């Protein structure tokens, strides 16, 4: 996260959307590894994919509020921060419900196989 924060601040100084570009890069690269987590049958690949995804998530998380503050005027920042947290936590709370439903009612023979199919789409 410190490296991502440093990079985002530097890119922000170069152009207005620099901080968001670092976040988008983390999300795009990380999505490949989330997909790999749900599709691999190798424990080694699973651990490596989860590790790299965690690093990519750090690129996103490092600038989430700073990016918000770059685009929202100071008097509205508290309200917008609260809304952003509400949406994020609501999504996080509903994710296990949807993965559970996909595991139970998916098209594969076992719940584990269905869960593996659902995981890449949960993030």
Structural domains of the chain, count: 2
pLDDT average, residue stretch 86-95:
88
Determine the Cα–Cα distance for residues 25 and 84; give it in Å rounded to an integer: 20
Look up the domain containing 50 and give its range.
Answer: 1-71
The residues, ordered by sequence, that sit 6+ positions from 18 with a Cβ below 8 Å of its Cβ are 8, 10, 11, 12
Claim to verify: residue 53 and residue 108 sit in the same structural domain: no
- For the whole model, what pTM was predicted? 0.69
pLDDT average, residue stretch 32-61:
92
Instruction: Answer whether residue 120 shows pLDDT above 80.
Output: no
Residue pair 69/77 in contact by the 8 Å Cβ criterion? yes
Task: Please report which confidence band the pLDDT of residue 123 belongs to, taking 50, 70 and 90 as the band edges.
Answer: low
Claim to verify: residue 40 and residue 86 sit in the same structural domain: no
Claim to verify: residue 62 and residue 4 sit in the same structural domain: yes
Claim to verify: residue 60 and residue 8 sit in the same structural domain: yes
DSSP class of residue 62 equals: T
> Residue 118's closest CA among 94, 83, 87?
94
Claim to verify: residue 108 and residue 52 sit in the same structural domain: no
* Lowest-pLDDT range of 10-19, 40-49, 98-107, 112-121: 112-121
Residue 50 CB neighbours (<10 A): 13
Claim to verify: residue 111 and residue 64 sit in the same structural domain: no
């Amino acid at each position: 996260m410190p490296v991502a924060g440093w990079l985002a601040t530097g890119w922000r100084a170069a152009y207005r959307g620099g901080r968001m570009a670092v976040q988008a890069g983390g999300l795009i690269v990380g999505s490949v590894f989330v997909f790999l987590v749900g599709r691999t049958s190798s424990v080694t690949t699973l651990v490596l994919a989860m590790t790299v995804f965690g690093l990519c998530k750090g690129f996103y998380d490092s600038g989430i509020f700073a990016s918000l503050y770059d685009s929202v005027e100071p008097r509205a920042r508290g309200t917008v921060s609260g809304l952003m947290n509400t949406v994020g936590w609501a999504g996080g709370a509903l994710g296990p419900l949807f993965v559970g439903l996909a595991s139970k009612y998916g098209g594969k023979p076992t719940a584990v196989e269905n869960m593996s199919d659902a995981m890449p789409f949960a993030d």
